[in-house]
Amino acid sequence: MSGTHSDVPSVLAHELPRPVPLDELAACPVGEVFRRVGDKWSMLLMILLGHRPYRFNELHRAVEGISQRMLTRTLRGLENDGLVRREVFPTVPPGVEYSLTPLGRSLLEPLSALADWAVRHGSALGRAPEPR
Amino acid sequence: MSGTHSDVPSVLAHELPRPVPLDELAACPVGEVFRRVGDKWSMLLMILLGHRPYRFNELHRAVEGISQRMLTRTLRGLENDGLVRREVFPTVPPGVEYSLTPLGRSLLEPLSALADWAVRHGSALGRAPEPR
DNA sequence: CTGAATCCTCTAAGATACTG
DNA sequence: CAGTATCTTAGAGGATTCAG
């Protein structure tokens, strides 16, 4: 990474005058983020957890539509990414509380910019892509 | 950014105190945007097209790793979403030029916020999720 | 209550090969 | 050059069942 810090924000401002050897683009950090939280449920859970900590079944009921399997897998993924923290309370019955890490909370901010855009221009995206 | 302090700005700041009937969450605009451009190639192409118009094979070479099929499908999707414009020049041989619509360009901005975050905190996401 | 383990389905995506 | 048409595979995601 060359430290060419133009005042225009971030990677998108780089000049890409020629065919890019993928070294630049595949390493595109936006892509990485999308790969992590771009799945069906991740950011949904993150938005929920952005408000307050939730317990497992609490999340299960809140999202209602997610399977237990995917809830577990998604939470594990977010935990491995350092976005979500998992805290176990050895009570009876056992309780597990999920919350956002500072990193996760920080991700919520740029995500809100995206949400903001979606609210304003989202209607233009309304039509689904034609099947087949 | 209407960044007040402890609260998350914009849409994400909605109160979600109770089990959400999915009417709220499924309609989550962030989710919709992710569904559209959250796939493997969309934002990659959008970033490229953010710099200049490209022709089909030009894109094919630039991304190098994408199949013709996916390039076509992704471009069609972006076109249907109103993010990319397709212009045909009836020359010999035929030339087709792809470029970003104003809507597409506007999406690039919040995307840059995300890229910005990724550049700063992306390293924390470095470790891949465990392979099963 | 919080998961893990199985099984199954459906779609995204790659590889070719063929056309206007 | 700019696609379309098939075929095939890998993985995401759901339903269900079992366990600590």
- Give me the residue spans of the domains in chain A: 19-119
Asked if residues A75 and A5 have their Cβ atoms less than 8 Å apart, the reply is no
How confident is the model at residue A127, as a pLDDT? 59
Calpha distance B30→B34 (Å, rounded): 6
Of A112, A105, A117, the closest CA to residue B46 belongs to A117
> Is the confidence at residue B17, as pLDDT, over 50?
no
**Closest nucleotide relative to residue A92's CA, C1' based:** C1
Per-residue pLDDT tens over the stretch B93-128? 899 999 999 999 999 888 888 888 888 887 777 554
Assess A132–B contact: CB distance below 8 Å, yes or no. no
Confirm if A63 and A48 have CB atoms less than 8 A apart. yes
Is nucleic acid strand D under 7 Å from B76's C-beta?
Answer: yes
Q: What is the per-residue pLDDT for B128? A: 47
Prediction pTM value: 0.79
Distance of B6 CA from C4 C1′ (whole Å): 37
**What confidence score (pLDDT) does residue B4 get?**
37
| CATH class name, domain A19-119 | mainly alpha
Which of A32, A112, A116 shows the shortest C-beta gap to B118?
A32
Instruction: Determine the pLDDT at residue A53.
Output: 96
Q: Is B7 on the interface with A (CB under 8 A)?
A: no
Closest nucleotide (CA of A77 to C1')? Answer: D12
CA distance B117 to B20: 29
Per-residue pLDDT of chain A (132 residues; tens, 9 = 90+): 333 333 333 454 444 334 444 444 445 677 778 888 888 899 889 988 998 999 999 999 988 789 999 999 999 999 999 999 999 999 988 999 999 999 999 999 888 888 888 888 877 775 544 444
Chain D nucleotides reached by a protein CB under 7 Å: 1-6, 12-17, 20
Across all strands, nucleotide nearest A93 (CA–C1'): C1
Nearest to A112 among B11, B32, B108 (CB): B11
Q: What's the pLDDT at B73?
A: 96
Per-residue model confidence (pLDDT) at position A105: 94
Write down the pLDDT at residue B21: 42
Span B68-92, mean pLDDT?
A: 94
Q: What is the pLDDT of residue A16?
A: 39
Partner B contacted by A124 (CB < 8 A): yes
Question: Ramachandran region of residue B64, left (φ > 0), alpha (ψ -120 to 50) or beta?
Answer: left
Interface contact flag, A111 B20, Cβ < 8 Å: no
A57 Cβ nearer than 7 Å to chain D strand = no
Rounded distance, CA A43 to CA A84, Å? 11
